[in-house]
């Protein structure tokens, strides 16, 4: 009699641990949804807070996801956390994009003349966006091929009306409690969708990557059968009903998508006019050099000649802007004597000050540089952090009294002995360097605190010219997702 073998499949055991309390639950199944886990652990009932997402094994996830790991450690994510606030913003931006697409599909006015919105920058407690005419996309090579300043919608009445319509449309989507899921689609499906919806940034990114499949965030309105996709970059909230507060308003030729104040209660200024003007200049420049989004940049990078040309163009723009600033200073040479430059670390302050000095010299003004770094206190007198390391970033690390006295003396025509700080031994050298302000000269100072009044209390306001430097390097991934200055800054440090 032949031997018979029977194989029994061992049932999988999944152990889930709540990180904050150590509480555990086991599931005799091959997979389990995060929604089920949240329900079993009574996460919402215990806290009373809306659950926006769950960190499972240290990875932020949408609660619609199903996991099959044998061991899962979970941590609830609420709005009062940095990650929760980010999920909220990202989901709200997705709903705004979907609302605009639905207006194009169902509103006769926009069906004839469709629009699309690009969220460009952070602006206080919201995102600043531009509205564009959605022209038909044929063989798009870069987003700049079909887009331009003449395609922007800037009429105040039109934008205010659009804000009201989108507000109502988003409120409707929120009430319907629709699911937002991550979905894998083919390149061909994505390309067809973005062409049909006339989304140039999404299409540019898609074609620059050229992968066989893509992940998108997807939402279907069952009532109308309308489905919306956007490139998936980071985790969204699982259901639209979790978006409780938001607003849309007109702001200087664009719109602002407003979300609740962040959990850290940062004191944002309401006066953003200068920042918006700077954003507009940056956007216009991106169109001129035909790089409006990361897809355009990807395409440029693949051609050595084009990327070298782009770098050269940006260097030229930088020099031209510095020349413009030098002309403004020269027009005020009768009163301005002190140029103060500040900005975050690695923002290019030293390079900028040298170039500004050369531009001033070409205008007949002698630049004199006073190094703020030489006014550091000795390490022994410097403030320390909690771990005992010296903190050279705080204002109290500088010899402010000596600096202010030297500034006063210089502008009174006196000679000073400026200190020279020896960073190897951590204290000023015994002998400094003598200096005096020559005729028809200005003093240049650069440092992270130079715009702080404590740095130049001894000098009258009319003698000061202040410059803030920060690389404005935000770039859109698609229409509603952009790489912020903060991300770019820390990526390059």
The two tokens of residue 361 are 């010299």
27 and 66 housed in the same domain: yes
Cβ atoms of 469 and 348 within 8 Å: the answer is yes
Cβ atoms of 43 and 76 within 8 Å: the answer is yes
Of 44, 77, 110, the residue at which a domain comes to its end is 77
241 and 353 housed in the same domain: no
Predicted confidence pLDDT, tens digits, the chain (493 residues): 555 555 555 567 999 999 989 999 999 999 999 999 999 999 988 888 899 999 999 999 999 999 999 999 999 999 989 899 999 999 999 999 999 999 999 999 999 999 999 998 888 889 999 999 998 886 545 555 544 455 899 999 999 999 999 999 999 999 999 999 999 999 999 999 999 999 999 999 999 988 999 999 999 999 999 999 999 999 999 999 999 999 999 998 999 999 887 665 555 555 678 888 888 888 888 888 899 999 999 999 999 999 999 999 999 999 999 999 999 999 999 999 999 999 887 788 889 999 999 999 999 999 999 989 899 999 888 888 888 888 888 899 999 999 999 999 999 999 999 999 998 998 999 999 999 999 999 999 998 899 999 999 999 999 999 999 887 767 899 999 988 765 444 333 3
Of 24, 50, 77, the residue at which a domain comes to its end is 77
pLDDT of residue 473: 67
Q: Report the DSSP pairing between strands 441-446 and 366-369.
A: parallel
Does residue 6 lie within any of the structural domains? no
Cβ atoms of 340 and 455 within 8 Å: the answer is yes
42 and 96 housed in the same domain: no
* Domain total in the chain: 3
Q: How far apart are CA 310 and CA 305, in angstroms?
A: 9
237 and 220 housed in the same domain: yes
145 and 30 housed in the same domain: no
Does residue 307 lie within any of the structural domains? no
270 and 193 housed in the same domain: yes
Q: Report the DSSP pairing between strands 71-77 and 14-18.
A: parallel
Residue 9: Cβ within 10 Å count: 6
Question: In terms of DSSP H, where are the helices of 261-399?
Answer: 273-288, 294-301, 304-331, 349-362
CATH of the domain at 27: 3.10.20.30
User: DSSP per residue over 194-236, as a string?
Assistant: HHHHT-HHHHHHHHHH--SEEEEEEEEETTTTEEEEEE--SPP
Does residue 266 lie within any of the structural domains? yes
The model's pTM is 0.83
Does residue 129 lie within any of the structural domains? yes
163 and 249 housed in the same domain: yes
pLDDT of residue 202: 95
Q: Please give the residue range of the domain that contains residue 27.
A: 14-77
The two tokens of residue 466 are 């202040």
415 and 367 housed in the same domain: yes
Q: How far apart are CA 12 and CA 14, in angstroms?
A: 7
Does residue 308 lie within any of the structural domains? no
pLDDT of residue 136: 84
Cβ atoms of 488 and 476 within 8 Å: the answer is no
Q: How far apart are CA 154 and CA 443, in angstroms?
A: 42
CATH of the domain at 349: 3.40.50.300
Helix, strand, coil in percent for the chain, rounding step 5: 40, 25, 35
Does residue 298 lie within any of the structural domains? no
Does residue 7 lie within any of the structural domains? no
Of 77, 103, 127, the residue at which a domain comes to its end is 77
Does residue 2 lie within any of the structural domains? no
327 and 431 housed in the same domain: yes
266 and 330 housed in the same domain: no
pLDDT of residue 488: 46
439 and 324 housed in the same domain: yes
439 and 341 housed in the same domain: yes
pLDDT of residue 11: 61
């Amino acid at each position: 009699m032949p031997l018979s073998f029977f194989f029994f499949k061992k049932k999988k055991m999944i152990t889930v641990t709540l990180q904050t309390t150590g509480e555990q639950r086991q599931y005799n199944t091959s997979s389990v949804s995060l929604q089920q886990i949240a329900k079993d652990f009574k996460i919402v009932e215990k806290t009373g807070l809306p659950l926006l997402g769950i960190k499972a094994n240290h990875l932020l996830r949408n609660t619609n996801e199903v996991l099959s790991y044998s061991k899962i450690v979970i941590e609830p994510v609420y709005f009062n956390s940095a990650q929760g606030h980010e999920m909220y913003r990202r989901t709200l931006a997705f709903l705004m994009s979907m609302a605009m697409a639905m207006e194009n599909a169902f509103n006769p006015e926009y069906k004839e003349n469709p629009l699309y919105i690009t969220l460009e920058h952070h602006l206080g407690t919201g995102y600043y966006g531009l509205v564009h005419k959605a022209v038909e996309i044929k063989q798009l090579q870069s987003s700049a091929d079909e887009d331009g300043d003449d395609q922007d919608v800037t009429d105040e009445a039109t934008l205010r009306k659009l804000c009201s319509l989108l507000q109502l449309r988003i409120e409707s989507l929120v009430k319907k409690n629709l699911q937002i899921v991550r979905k894998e689609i083919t390149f061909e499906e994505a390309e067809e969708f973005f062409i049909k919806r006339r989304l140039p940034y999404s299409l540019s990114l898609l074609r620059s990557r050229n992968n066989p499949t893509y992940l998108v965030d997807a939402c279907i309105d069952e009532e109308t059968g309308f489905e919306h996709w956007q490139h998936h970059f980071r985790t969204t909230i699982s259901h639209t009903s979790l978006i409780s507060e938001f607003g849309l308003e007109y702001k200087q030729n664009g719109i602002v998508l407003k979300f609740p104040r962040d959990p850290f209660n940062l004191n944002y200024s309401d006066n953003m006019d200068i920042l918006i003007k700077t954003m507009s200049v940056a956007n216009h420049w991106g169109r001129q050099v035909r790089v409006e989004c990361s897809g355009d940049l990807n395409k440029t990078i693949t051609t050595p000649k084009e990327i070298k040309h782009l770098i050269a163009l940006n260097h030229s723009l930088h020099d031209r802007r510095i020349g413009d600033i030098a002309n403004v200073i020269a027009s005020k040479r009768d009163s301005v004597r002190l140029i103060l430059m500040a900005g975050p670390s690695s923002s290019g302050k030293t390079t900028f000050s040298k170039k500004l000095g050369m531009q001033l010299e070409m205008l007949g003004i002698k630049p004199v540089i006073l190094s703020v770094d030489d006014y550091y206190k000795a390490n022994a007198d410097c403030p320390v952090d909690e771990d005992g390391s010296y903190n050279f970033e705080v204002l109290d690390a500088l010899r402010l009294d000596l600096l202010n006295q030297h500034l006063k003396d210089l502008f009174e025509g006196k000679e000073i002995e400026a200190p020279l700080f020896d960073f190897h031994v951590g204290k000023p050298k015994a002998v400094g360097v003598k200096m005096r302000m020559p005729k028809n000269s200005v003093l240049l100072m650069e440092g992270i605190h130079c715009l702080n009044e404590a740095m130049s209390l001894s000098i009258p306001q009319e003698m000061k010219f202040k410059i803030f430097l920060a690389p404005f390097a935000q770039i859109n991934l698609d229409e509603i997702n952009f790489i912020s200055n903060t991300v770019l800054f820390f990526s390059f440090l």
